[in-house]
Amino acid sequence: MSRTIAAQPLTQAGFAPFGEVLEAAGAPDRIINRGLCGRFHDRAGLDFGDGRAGISLFQAVPRTLPLELDLLERHPEGSQAFVPMGPEPFLVVVAPDDGGVPGRPLAFVTAPGQGINLRRGTWHGVLTPLHPPGLFAVIDRIGPGANLQEHDINPPYTITQTRTPK
Ligand X SMILES: NC(=O)N[C@@H](O)C(=O)O
Where along the sequence are the contacts to Ni ion (CB under 5 A)? 80
Nearer to ligand X by Cβ, of 40 and 58: the residue is: 58
Nearer to Ni ion by Cβ, of 114 and 117: the residue is: 117
Q: Figure out which of the listed residues 16, 31, 55, 126 binds ligand X, where binding follows CB under 6 A.
A: 126
CB of 75 to ligand X, least distance (A): 6
Q: Give the one entry of ligand X, Ni ion, none that residue 127 binds, where binding means its C-beta sits below a cut-off of 5 to 8 angstroms depending on kind.
A: ligand X
Q: Figure out which of the listed residues 10, 72, 91, 127 binds ligand X, where binding follows CB under 6 A.
A: 127
3-state SS record for the chain: CCCEEECEECCHHHHCCCEEEECCCCCCCEEECCCCEEECCCCCCCCCCCCEEEEEEEECCCCCCCEEEEEEEECCCCCEEEEECCCCCEEEEEECEECCEECCCEEEECCCCCEEEECCCCEECCCEECCCCCEEEEEEEECCCCCCEEEEEEEEEEEECCCCCC
CB of 73 to ligand X, least distance (A): 6
Position 142 contacts ligand X (CB under 6 A): no
Count of residues of this chain found to bind ligand X when the rule CB under 6 A is applied: 6
Contact 163, 7 (CB under 8 A): yes
Q: Give the one entry of ligand X, Ni ion, none that residue 31 binds, where binding means its C-beta sits below a cut-off of 5 to 8 angstroms depending on kind.
A: none
Name 38's bridge partners: 31
CB of 146 to ligand X, least distance (A): 10
Nearer to Ni ion by Cβ, of 19 and 89: the residue is: 19
Q: How far is CA 40 from its chain centroid?
A: 19
CB under 6 A: which stretch of 16-24, 29-37, 119-127, 151-159 binds ligand X? Answer: 119-127
Distance between CA atoms of residues 60 and 129, nearest Å: 7
Tell me the one-letter amino acid at 72.
L
By CB under 6 A, name the binding residues for ligand X: 73, 80, 124, 126-127, 148
